[in-house]
Structure 1
Amino acid sequence: MSYQSNQYNQGVPPPPQTQAPYGYSPQQGYGHAPPSGPPPGANPQLWAWFKAVDTDGSGQLTVDELQRALINGDWSPFNIETVRTMVNMFDTDNSGTINFNEFSGLWNYIEEWKKCFQTFDRDGSGSVDRNEMSQALRAFGFNVSDKFVHSLIQKFDRYGTNQQSRGNGNVTFDNFVQACVTVKTLTDSFRGFDSDQDGWIQINYEQFLDLVVRQRA
């Protein structure tokens, strides 16, 4: 597997204010009476969604609270590992939870990935198949083989997670994000060892262990 230097586009518009966005479950009700208004400069609709998810009124969202509010296009809940990855990425104070400002950044991130996902979900099925996943990875600059894409699909197909089920050969939105973030993170780690940028590295046993442990942190 080789890589190129393409990065994900970071420019995204604010979340829509007229309807609940893709990824938010409208079934989540308020767990308590919301305050009179959002913080100065905050998106009022995004603040309302945050308060709806914050069922204990703590001002912080746990992984479980956030997962209960995030849905895929087929109404299935987000993979808990994807939610945990997102919380870890935006938990700037290392509290294990996210406050409203951190949630705002996370929501923009989800919106960015939503647009990306819809670009490659050409048939509008709510999931990507092997060909669509391959196109996505190559568009991101990851020059991977069909064999690797097949393995990635098997890993992240939510319906093929055990030996008794072969799954559908498709990846839903949440697992698409998880798969792409995983490939990018591993590629960045690989690049750190590939000093001459030739797509080959040599590492010792302890370096390998360190690399794996850091990915699981």
Structure 2
Amino acid sequence: MSDPDLLSQKTLSTTQDDALAMDDISSGDESPSIGKRTYGEIKREPDMSYALAAASRPYVAPHEIQKWFHSMAEKEDGKMTAKELQQAFEIFQGRYFSDSSCKFVVRLFDLDQNGGLDIREFELLYYYIKQWVTAFNAYDKDHTGALDEKELNFALKHMDIHFSPEFIRYLIKRQNPNATKMTLDQYIVTCIQIQRYTDEFKQRDTEYTGHINVRYEDFLEMIMRCV
């Protein structure tokens, strides 16, 4: 992937056909392409190589990105903080993103690790936000602004990740035991975390058995690398 807007056609550039296909899932007819139990293959993390390579090129941000960035990054250092990103989501997307979700996203996209997003880093995030929102809206078939168990299960299967109904339920309820649906910010963070943990697991499960044996310290290292 050489450019952030050239994302996976399979997962991030979701079409209306994906939403319509949920009728087949609910009726018990799964597509053969998602019937095989596999690990996640679709990357939802930014392509770091693109951002690093872009740093050496003359840069002018598109107008819409400049509008987002300059209206929120009020400090003289030209960085967007997690709090400012949270405000931007509410103003430009009409969506509430939690403090923890915004801090997580900023930490992930802050490539130079200086505590905030410059306009280059924000552009990379911006493209992913648009794709995530498009995908989320397609999976949110009943237009409630959140994914229920069936919708979340369908979304993850299109990432080639197949979880049991019990684990799908756990993902929705892990932050709120009374929750029955997953919001957009939770969906984004969950997808990123699943991919990170899956990548760590795959490195140790070279035969794709679905089982690994790890020493205690290896387990801790695996967890800490993903946090």
The answer, yes or no, to whether TM exceeds 0.5 is yes
Residue 214 of structure 2 aligns with an amino acid whose one-letter code is: I
Structure 1 unaligned spans of 5+? 11-38
Identity of matched residues, %:
27
TM-fit CA distance, 1:74 = 9.7
Does residue 65 (structure 1) correspond to residue 100 (structure 2)? The answer is: no
Is the 8 Å Cα contact of residues 72 and 78 (structure 1) preserved in structure 2?
A: no
Q: 2:188 matched to 1:153?
A: no
Task: Specify the alignment match of 1:85 in structure 2.
Answer: 104
Matches within 5 A, 1:117-196: 117-156=136-175, 160=176, 166-167=178-179, 169-196=180-207
Question: C-alpha distance in 2, partners of 1:91/1:76?
Answer: 22
* Cα offset, 1:212, TM superposition: 1.5
Pairing partner for 2:219 from 202, 208, 215:
208
Cα distance change on mapping 1:8 and 1:72 into 2, 3 Å: farther
RMSD between aligned residues: 2.4
After TM superposition, the score normalised by the length of structure 1 is 0.75
Structure 2 counterpart of 1:54, from 73, 78, 82: 73
**Whole-angstrom CA distance in 1 between matches of 2:147 and 2:182:** 5
Superimposed CA distance per residue, residues 107-143 of structure 1 (whole angstroms, 9 cap, x where no aligned partner): 0011110111011101111111011001111111111
Letter in 1 for 2:225: R
1:122-165, CA deviations, whole angstroms, 9 ceiling, x for partnerless residues?
11111110110011111111111000000001025xxx26xxxx
Given the superposition, is the C-alpha separation of residues 73 and 137 from structure 1 closer, same or farther in structure 2, using an over 3 Å criterion? farther
Per the TM alignment, residue 73 of structure 1 is displaced from its structure 2 partner at its CA by 10
Runs (5+) with no aligned partner, structure 2: 1-36, 46-57
Number of residue pairs aligned between Structure 1 and Structure 2: 179
Task: Pick closer, same or farther for the CA change 1:118–1:94 going to 2, 3 Å.
Answer: same
In structure 2, what residue type is equivalent to 1:131? K
Deviation at 1:55, TM superposition (A): 2.2
**Once the two structures are superposed, what CA deviation does each residue of 1:71-117 show, in whole Å capped at 9, x if it has no partner?**
39995521222212221222111111110011000000111101110
Aligned to 1:102: 121
SS of corresponding position for 1:3: coil
Alignment of 1:19-30 (within 5 A): none
Which residue identity lines up with residue 67 of structure 1 in the other structure?
A: Q
More helix by share: 2
1:53-76 CA distances to partner (integer Å, 9 max, x unpaired)? 112242111112212221399955
Change (3 A) 1:213 1:8: closer
Q: Which amino acid aligns with 1:3?
A: T
User: Is it true that 1:6 corresponds to 2:41 in the alignment?
Assistant: yes
Greater RCO (CA < 8 Å, at least 6 residues apart): 2
The one-character-per-residue Cα deviations of 1:21-74 (angstroms, maximum 9, x if unpaired) are: xxxxxxxxxxxxxxxxxx953211210221111122421111122122213999
User: Could you tell me which amino acid in structure 2 is paired with residue 66 of structure 1?
Assistant: L
